Amino acid sequence: MKKLQAFVSHFARIGSQYKEKITPAHFLSLLTGGLVFIFFLLSIFIPHSGHYADELGVTGDGQTVTIEETPQEKAPVITKRTVKYGQSFYSILQSEGLSPQEIHEITAQLKGTFSIRSFSPGKIYETETSGDGCLIRFSYFQDRATTITVQREIENGPFSVNKDIRDYETRTVALEGTVEHSLARSLQAKGRRGLLPGMQKLLGTRVDFRHDISPSTQYRVLFEEKWMGDEFISTGTILTTELTLPDKTCRAYRYTDAKGVAGYYDEKGRSVERIARFAKPCNYSRVSSRFGYRTHPIFKTRHFHGGVDLAAPSGTPVKATANGRVIFKGRKGGAGNMVTIAHAGGDRSQYLHLSRFAVKTRYGATVKQGQVIGFVGSTGNSTGPHLDFRIIHRGKHINPLTAFGTTSSRTIARKEMVDFLAEISLMKAKLDDRSLFIAGSDKQQGGAFL
């Protein structure tokens, strides 16, 4: 520091000697240059003052840094459960805190990927919830090869659906046997009890499975199975099935028609399936008001009630009860938000007190049975959320609960009968091919897959 002060004093003396010789312009230039030089020297010899702070408040390289940590988040909770009787895909997701709208968006994504109807008791599902209890992931193990996963990609974001299928082989196999105690026990002994629901559905219109099947009843089934190497995964599509009783033999054959619609028929090409003419329009807890005369809950007057009130939470999806065309959508006085659909044969169905309409529900739109057209609400003259559902047959109201039980059927078109008969001949040949029979069949000879 003393050297610096001496240098500055010396520079000042020289300046005073030449002061008289220097013009004002020269003096200003020299003064500016001198000041720059002095500041340069100060930056070398004098340490920085340390008043500057960066983004995290650091003012110097010698400063002690304090590292802050966020509070530790609770780890996600993973729970594995079994689907119980009475539980549905909808009820489980609702119990996990999802809104009806979120569930509807999920089921819309599942369409064509997974049938909610295959959601059955005894299956395993897994949930993953965040530390604050919000659902992050829902996984349903359809079988050992297939897992359906519903998951949030970002916090509080929408759910996405993924179907994970492990590589498996589909094999066409056959099974036959003679009932000793019951058909269920016979199939269970062969590890194929999963065939029973399908057989009941296909032959239930002609066979009383509770009373007609007795010891000595014979059965044969041609079906598909999923395998992963030597590991059996699950039974698949039934191709043909038959039951031989003391007085008759009942058969059902799977056939896909020229339009790509698969169904099951007898040997004469007649459908063996019960096809619901009118399906239930929504999931409801009870019938809060029945069809016929009643005392109005608001006006306390005696009047005729042309439909049934189905009690359900607000926001529950409402579905078209049959294929048809929307001929009314809008506000209708005491009925509130209402949709009317025209069906084949002159029938009409009506859906009253809706909270809102589905996006695709518009006048003139064609809808399919099971398509969501709106959501349960309490608009119009209503004391609480419910669906007032009505069916008009030939211009008159009929009891919708009775209409649910009506069925229709179809037959093979005449121009397709040759193809149909060729198809069932092939399936009969496979049923007689002993190499396809799985181990445990009464007449199995080699070719076992177990």
> Token digits for 149?
């996963």
E strands, 187-342, where?
Answer: 218-228, 231-244, 249-256, 262-265, 275-276, 286-289, 292-295, 302-305, 308-311, 317-319, 324-331, 337-342
Measure Cα distances from 161 to 76, 112, 166, 438 in Å: 20, 12, 16, 36
Cα torsion angle, 55, 56, 59, 61, sign: negative
> Token digits for 310?
């189905």
Least confident range from 7-21, 28-42, 274-288: namely 7-21
Which residue has better confidence, 76 or 386? Answer: 386
Say how many CA atoms lie within 13 Å of 237 toward its Cβ. 11
pLDDT band at 449 (very low <50, low <70, confident <90, very high): very low
**For residue 147, pLDDT beyond 70:** yes
Please report the pLDDT score of residue 179 as a whole number: 87
Please report the pLDDT score of residue 50 as a whole number: 47
Distance CA 286, CA 309 (A): 9
**For residue 13, pLDDT beyond 80:** no
The percent of residues in the chain predicted with pLDDT above 70, rounded, is 73
Amino acid at 203: L
Q: Are 213 and 182 in contact (CB under 8 A)?
A: yes
Distance CA 195, CA 205 (A): 17
The percent of residues in the chain predicted with pLDDT above 90, rounded, is 14
Which residue has better confidence, 94 or 70? Answer: 94
> Token digits for 233?
């995964």
pLDDT band at 443 (very low <50, low <70, confident <90, very high): very low
**For residue 68, pLDDT beyond 70:** no
Amino acid at 242: E
Q: How many helices (H) and strands (E) does the chain have?
A: 8, 24
pLDDT band at 8 (very low <50, low <70, confident <90, very high): low
- Bridge partners (DSSP) listed for residue 338: 330
Based on the number of CB atoms within 10 Å of its own CB, is 86 exposed (0-12), middle (13-18) or buried (19 or more)? exposed
The C-alpha R_g of the chain, in whole angstroms, comes to: 39
Distance CA 192, CA 197 (A): 11
Kindly give the pairing relationship between strand 324-331 and strand 317-319. unpaired
Domains and CATH numbers, the chain: 77-165 (3.10.450.350), 169-274+412-436 (3.10.450.350), 286-407 (2.70.70.10)
Neighbours of 366 (CB within 10 A): 12
Please report the pLDDT score of residue 306 as a whole number: 78
> Token digits for 229?
């190497």
What does the DSSP 8-state code read for residue 379? -
| Runs of H (alpha helix) within 349-392 | none
DSSP string, 120-144: -TT-EEEEEE-TTS-EEEEEEE-SS
Q: What is residue 343's three-state secondary structure?
A: coil
> Token digits for 22?
């220097």
Q: Are 129 and 135 in contact (CB under 8 A)?
A: yes
Say how many CA atoms lie within 13 Å of 269 toward its Cβ. 15
Question: pLDDT per residue over 114-138, tens digit each?
Answer: 766 667 788 888 888 887 778 888 8
Please report the pLDDT score of residue 339 as a whole number: 93
> Token digits for 366?
């064609």
The b/e string for 122-138 (b: 16+ C-beta within 10 A; e otherwise) is eeebebbbbeeeebbbb
What does the DSSP 8-state code read for residue 84? P
Kindly give the pairing relationship between strand 302-305 and strand 249-256. unpaired
